[in-house]
């Protein structure tokens, strides 16, 4: 069935969900989300590939679910990835990632790694991030061409997390391919047999690699995150092999495309709002607030899921026990009831309550690290390119679930 052409003309919320998933419409996502919020803010639908789903688009309702003591993320939320035997290795690993675990397993694994991602702990990596951005920009300038996505946004987060974890630089190119294939497999709206097969290979590759490196670190500990994870113990003992591999993969994967996306979507946003760009250049002290505003304005992780353990009443509508709430983070961040004039970027707005990093038990573990990397990248780009501008059309990736750019050519 064809998706509609104009959000305003549309009265069927499921048509809107089809438009939202349409890879051709990435540039103009938010008018559709506004229309969905107006028409059906709590909408029972499987249109986003979630069985038994209720799609929520109001800030207040989404926050209520994220804070609800009886709404959980659990391994059944990973059912969204289940394509049977052909994709079983990937699905099994997703079920073990902390994002899909409920307490006590979730809290136990999160507690083992969280202390390495506090704002204080990640400050130690700011200099490494700044150094890496300069190096990447030097290389692009020497080539005489800058595609922000390929040249800076993609390589930066993976370089930083690999350095944190203690992964040798020579292995980074291998990770690039696995990370790419793993991320594509996560886009359940665009699966093909080839994407599924590559996802299986990437998962098995990651698993063997991390288990091998963990064995080495147990024999010969180093000053890196992998050693800390390999040696971590609590009252129940060390992490199992499945838990260890899944935790290493989520640390690498959850912070890779997401952070890359925010760097390039953020620069795109600033170029579309030249007065705000000028304001930020004039007042560089606004950078932390500006980054929060850019995270609010356009974000990578567009959906979160929570399963209701009891009947919930959200936004005046009943959601039965056992249903899955599909939370549209991007729609929440543009809700006019929460943020006046939500489509406008205001680098002084300071929207500290935005939902780009989620909220509650599963709030983003790497938020402070992402902030450091995004701030470092945007600051360096603005400093080094005083006449920064588009040098061609930005191209969006196809995915709705993980929104981002495939390329952003710039000149400066």
For ligand HEM, the closer CB: 10 or 375: 375
Instruction: Print the binding letters for residues 257-296 with ligand HEM: x by CB under 6 A, - otherwise.
Output: -xx--x----------------------------------
- Residue 176 CB: number of other CB atoms within 10 A? 14
Residue 323 is a binding residue for ligand HEM (CB under 6 A) = no
63 lies in the site for ligand HEM, by CB under 6 A:
no
- Nearest approach, Cβ of residue 364 and ligand HEM (Å): 3
Q: Are strands 53-56 and 324-328 parallel, antiparallel or unpaired?
A: parallel
Q: For residue 368, state whether it binds ligand HEM (rule: CB under 6 A).
A: no
- Minimum CB separation of residue 95 from ligand HEM in Å reads 13
Reported as half-sphere exposure (CB side, CA atoms, 13 A), residue 101 has a value of 19
Strands 303-308 vs 71-72: parallel, antiparallel or unpaired: antiparallel
Site for ligand HEM in 127-166 (CB under 6 A): 161
- If the CB atoms of residues 10 and 97 are measured against ligand HEM, the closer one turns out to be 97
Residue 244, preceding bond cis, omega within 30 degrees?
no
Per DSSP, the chain holds a count of helices (H) and strands (E) of 18, 14
Query: Torsions phi, psi of 106, nearest 5?
Result: -55, -50
Asked if 242 and 267 touch (Cβ cutoff 8 Å), the reply is no
Tell me how many residues contact ligand HEM (CB under 6 A).
26
**Side-chain half-sphere CA neighbours of 380 within 13 A:** 24
Between CA 65 and CA 69 the distance in angstroms is: 8
Whether the CB-CB separation of 115 and 232 falls below 8 Å is answered with no
Per rule CB under 6 A, is residue 68 in the interface with ligand HEM? no
CA distances from 368 to 54, 72, 255, 330, 377 (A): 31, 24, 11, 20, 14
Please pick, from the candidates 18, 49, 110, 197, the single residue that binds ligand HEM as defined by CB under 6 A.
110
User: Whole-number minimum distance, CB 322 to ligand HEM, in Å?
Assistant: 18
According to CB under 6 A, which residues from 189 to 208 bind ligand HEM?
Answer: none
Stretch that binds ligand HEM, among 15-23, 175-183, 298-306, 315-323 (CB under 6 A): 298-306
254 binds ligand HEM (CB under 6 A): yes
Q: Which residues bind ligand HEM (CB under 6 A)?
A: 73, 98-99, 110, 161, 250-251, 254-255, 258-259, 262, 299-301, 304, 329, 356-358, 362, 364-366, 369-370
């Amino acid at each position: 069935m064809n998706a509609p052409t104009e959000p305003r003309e549309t009265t069927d919320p499921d048509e809107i969900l089809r438009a939202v998933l349409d890879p051709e419409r990435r540039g103009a996502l938010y008018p559709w989300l506004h229309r969905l919020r107006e028409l059906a803010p709590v909408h029972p639908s499987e249109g986003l590939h979630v069985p038994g789903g209720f799609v929520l688009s109001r800030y207040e309702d989404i926050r209520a679910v994220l804070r609800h003591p009886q709404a959980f993320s659990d391994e059944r939320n990973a059912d969204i990835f289940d394509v049977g035997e052909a994709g079983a290795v990937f699905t099994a690993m997703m079920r073990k990632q902390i994002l899909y675990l409920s307490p006590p397993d979730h809290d136990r694994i999160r507690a083992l790694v969280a202390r390495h991602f506090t704002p204080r702990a990640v400050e130690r990596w700011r200099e490494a991030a700044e150094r890496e951005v300069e190096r990447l920009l030097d290389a692009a300038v020497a080539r005489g061409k800058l595609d922000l996505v390929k040249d800076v946004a993609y390589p930066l987060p993976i370089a930083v997390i690999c350095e944190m974890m203690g992964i040798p630089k020579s292995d980074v190119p291998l990770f690039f391919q696995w990370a790419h294939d793993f991320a594509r497999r996560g886009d359940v709206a665009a699966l093909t047999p080839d994407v599924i097969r590559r996802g299986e290979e990437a998962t098995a590759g990651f698993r063997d690699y991390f288990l091998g490196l963990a064995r080495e670190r147990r024999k010969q500990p180093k000053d890196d995150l992998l050693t800390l994870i390999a040696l971590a113990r609590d009252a129940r003992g060390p992490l199992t092999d499945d838990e260890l591999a899944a935790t290493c993969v989520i640390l690498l994967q959850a912070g890779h495309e997401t952070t890359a996306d925010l760097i390039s979507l953020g620069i795109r946003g600033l170029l579309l709002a030249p007065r705000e760009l000028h304001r930020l250049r004039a007042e560089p002290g606004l950078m932390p607030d500006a980054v929060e505003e850019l995270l609010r304005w356009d974000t990578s992780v567009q959906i979160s899921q929570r399963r209701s353990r009891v009947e919930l009443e959200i936004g005046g509508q009943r959601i039965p026990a056992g249903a899955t709430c599909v939370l549209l983070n991007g729609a929440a961040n543009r809700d006019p009831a929460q943020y006046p004039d939500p489509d406008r970027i205001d680098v002084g707005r300071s929207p500290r309550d935005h939902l780009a990093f989620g909220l509650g038990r599963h709030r983003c573990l790497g938020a402070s690290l992402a902030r450091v990397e995004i701030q470092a990248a945007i600051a360096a780009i603005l400093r080094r390119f005083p006449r920064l501008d588009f040098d061609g059309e930005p191209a969006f990736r196809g995915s709705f679930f993980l929104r981002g750019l495939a390329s952003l050519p710039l000149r400066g």
